[in-house]
Amino acid sequence: MTGLNGARVLVTRPAHQAENLCRLIEQQGGIAVRFPTLAIADGDNRLAIQKTLSGLDLFHWLIFISSNAVNFALKANDGKIPQVKARHIAAIGKATANALVTAAIPVDLIPEQPYNSEALLAAPAMQALQGQRILIVRGEGGRDELADTLRERGADVQYLNVYKRIIPSTNNAHVSALLEQHQLDVITATSGEVLQNLLIMLDVAHHQPLFSLPLIVVSDRIKQLATELGFKRIAVADSPSDEAILQTVNQSNRGIA
């Protein structure tokens, strides 16, 4: 893996999730430009979350969409998720599984790479679900494909929204100046929402310079959205891990050196 030689890399992740990637970029000789375009906040109804978590014996499967889903469920319920022997737990991604393990919650199923809903749906345990009740723990406004497919397979699916996504109040002056001076080299985006918010948070006059920069995303779905938005130089990391993102940043940087 080559060094980044002072390349400025825009990191759009929520502030509380960005530091490891920023550290890796800086260790490789790059400059991490922190510009969170998404913030995570508590869900609106803590009592409803607690009530659902107190009745987990009603469900055969509990699916956690992200590490945020784990952490905010724990936060809303005084740090606990009740253990129910008959219940199985699925985690989408290693970070989600690690958050559960850290909370002493056993994980029964982690999908293969690329660690997304589609990979979970491909797992043998997610095929014959007639009569099973499934609780999906997520943030407000998440994708419905997972639940829709599980319902088609006979499951009774409910959501538990434990957090919400908001656009942070972030000063855009630094990023705007870098774009005007042609001193930004690579953009990273780990969800479609952070990408859409990036355009909302910057003046329209800065969109064309953004579109011409190398953009690193973590799925083909985000790549498709980025193409529709107008980005022209898009690369997909092998996985959502910080290490895979950094590797793809390195590859893109070599292409513009």
In order of their start, the domains of the chain are 8-38+168-256 (3.40.50.10090), 41-165 (3.40.50.10090)
Nearest to 134 by CA among 112, 160, 155, 113: 155
- CB burial of residue 205 (10 Å; 0-12, 13-18, 19+): exposed
pLDDT reported for residue 113: 77
pLDDT for 257 beyond 80: no
More confident residue, 84 or 178: 178
Q: Which residues pair with 31 in a beta bridge?
A: 8
Cβ atoms 24, 246 nearer than 8 A:
yes
What pLDDT, in 10s, does the model give residues 194-237? 999 999 999 999 999 999 999 999 999 999 999 999 999 999 99
Strand pairing report for 39-42 and 156-166: antiparallel
pLDDT for 66 beyond 80: yes
What pLDDT, in 10s, does the model give residues 21-47? 999 999 999 999 999 999 999 988 899
| Cβ neighbour number for residue 54 with a 10 Å cutoff | 10
| Cβ neighbour number for residue 154 with a 10 Å cutoff | 12
pLDDT for 252 beyond 90: no
**Residue 94 — very low, low, confident or very high, per pLDDT cuts 50/70/90?**
confident
Q: What is the mean pLDDT of residues 6-21?
A: 95
- CB burial of residue 228 (10 Å; 0-12, 13-18, 19+): exposed
pLDDT reported for residue 121: 94
pLDDT for 255 beyond 70: no
pTM of the model: 0.81
Cβ atoms 248, 216 nearer than 8 A:
yes
pLDDT reported for residue 85: 67
Q: What is the mean pLDDT of residues 158-175?
A: 94
Q: Helices in 40-103 by DSSP H: which ranges?
A: 46-53, 67-76, 94-102
Number of residues in the chain: 257
pLDDT reported for residue 114: 73
Concatenate the DSSP letters of all residues of 177-240 into one string.
HHHHTT---EEE-SSHHHHHHHHHHS-GGGHHHHHTSEEEESSHHHHHHHHHHT--EEEE-SSS
pLDDT for 240 beyond 70: yes
Handedness of CA 41, 245, 238, 99 (dihedral sign): negative
pLDDT reported for residue 83: 77
Phi and psi based region of residue 29 (left: phi greater than 0; alpha: psi -120 to 50; beta: remaining): left
pLDDT for 1 beyond 60: no
Nearest to 24 by CA among 241, 215, 246: 246
